[in-house]
Structure 1
Amino acid sequence: MRTLSFGRLIYLVYLFTIALPILLVITGLSSVLLIIASYVGVPAAFISQVTKFWSWSCLTLTLCRVEVRGREHLPQRGSACVVVANHQSAYDICALNACIGIPFKWVMKADLRRMPLVGRACEASGFIFVDETRVSSITHTIEDAKRVLSTGNSIFIFPEGSRTETGRMIRFKKGAFVMASELDVPILPVTIDGAFAVLPRGCSIPHRHRIVLTIHPAFHMSEQGTPPAHIPASARLAQQIIASALPEEA
């Protein structure tokens, strides 16, 4: 039987007596605020601030610090892009939403829409849902993405499709790059390192750990050849760029 260290024991006591109860209240209130906001037509900036506050709360209350490198590579205000990153854990969403510093909307699996309250809040926030079981879903997703871009927001996708089970990055799917090609916007690669140590897949209790976000220079898919060959080429390039800022074991 694995023995808990004294530090881990203190952290767990803090989590269950202070952090998680507060976070549960913040999650509920934030979800309700977002749903109400979608009906009364408040500015989009308010919705962004609410989601950012929720993400910041998750990180702060669980004592996870985020370091951001490469901010100089972020697009200028008004310049939209498709942001792609490796997917280490559920904490990826918190770290990116709280710290990346550009307005964007997530592309999420349609299954997440069914989450009580939170799924409705994500829909109210204007996030994009995609049903991977339906071929026609990509057409609707691209139309939704065009709407998002017209509001000045970028789009965020995890090309792996799901969280890693081992901590190692898996092959990127092509959906994000098909979308970027259709929308004619650049790809912005971001590396996430440390989130797997915070909350590995299958684990429900977080660990205190630092997360590092590395923002790489954006690239245009047209630089990777002519359609449709530029799609797999861009997927490979993005994966190589993201992997370059990960330790060898990841």
Structure 2
Amino acid sequence: MKILYYIYQIFIALPILLVLTILTAVVTILGSLLGGAHIWGYYPGKIWSQLICVFLLIRVKVHGREKLHKRTSYIFVPNHQGSFDIFLIYGFIGRNFKWMMKKSLRKIPFVGKACESAGHIFVNRSGPKKVLETIQKAKESLKDGVSLVVFPEGARTFTGHMGYFKKGAFQLADDLQLAVVPVTIDGSFEILPRTGKWIHPHRMILTIHDPIPPKGKGTENIKLQWPKLILW
């Protein structure tokens, strides 16, 4: 069965997904230029992610959407198991959001330009001024229920186990006084780990935990909130 899936993956699924990726990027760029980047920056990507899972025969299960309020903006902080985390969150979290991503991703053909047009936030850590600009852009984006997704580990795991958190997501939540929502991703590592070359069909599970609202503001607030996030 594995050999049949590899043949299907190479000759059928991946060519279709390449065309879908380019088409999604073009639609996102053109739609955002016409106006409504919040719409065009989310729904084409959502459909693209769902189709990727369908064509690659990947089953998805979601828990906890009922914990979120429709018109409330959140900062989602998922663990980062692998490349398919992107498709799981984009396709199935059920909330309009912006990604916070590394500046280097802007260089990816089609995708980088689409992300820029959609208003996703590229992190520039070259100096304090650039960091403040990033925070200001986030403030402008997180309105009317539009949320933010940040991987607090910063990069995909090599082992399947969760790594150390960086403070950026929690500092941003503190600055903007938004609730942090821990999100557990399970199964993505089995599909395509960081060092893997082949895609393996495996069920992915997305679990949305209870939002953690801010209590106060400042460095001490971040330290007090931190232990509550250790629930994966």
TM-score by length of 1: 0.88
**Counterpart of 1:19?**
13
Is the Cα–Cα contact under 8 Å of residues 172 and 236 in structure 1 kept in the other structure? Answer: no
The change in CA–CA distance for 1:226 and 1:80 in structure 2 (over 3 A counts) is closer
Aligned-pair CA distance for 1:8: 1.1
Aligned-pair CA distance for 1:187: 0.6
Match of 2:101 among 81, 105, 108: 108
Counterparts of 1:106 and 1:43 in 2: how far apart (Å)? 13
TM-score by length of 2: 0.95
**What does 1:70-89 align with in structure 2 at a 5 Å threshold?**
70-74=64-68, 76-89=69-82
Aligned-pair CA distance for 1:38: 2.1
**Counterpart of 1:216?**
209
Is the Cα–Cα contact under 8 Å of residues 174 and 232 in structure 1 kept in the other structure? Answer: no
Q: Deviations over 1:140-193 (max 9, x none)?
A: 111111111125310110000000011010111110000000001101111001
Q: Does 1:67 align with 2:67?
A: no
Counterparts of 1:191 and 1:220 in 2: how far apart (Å)? 18
Is the Cα–Cα contact under 8 Å of residues 174 and 235 in structure 1 kept in the other structure? Answer: no
Aligned-pair CA distance for 1:133: 4.3
**Counterpart of 1:229?**
220
The change in CA–CA distance for 1:110 and 1:9 in structure 2 (over 3 A counts) is same
The Cα RMSD (Å) is 1.5
**What does 1:126-145 align with in structure 2 at a 5 Å threshold?**
126-145=119-138
Counterparts of 2:40 and 2:116 in 1: how far apart (Å)? 15
Structure 2, unmatched stretches of 5+, are none
Q: Secondary structure at the match of 2:178?
A: coil
Is the Cα–Cα contact under 8 Å of residues 41 and 119 in structure 2 kept in the other structure? Answer: no
Q: Secondary structure at the match of 2:206?
A: strand
Which one is further off, 97-106 or 124-133?
124-133
**Counterpart of 1:148?**
141
Aligned-pair CA distance for 1:101: 0.8
The change in CA–CA distance for 1:133 and 1:89 in structure 2 (over 3 A counts) is farther
Q: Secondary structure at the match of 1:150?
A: coil
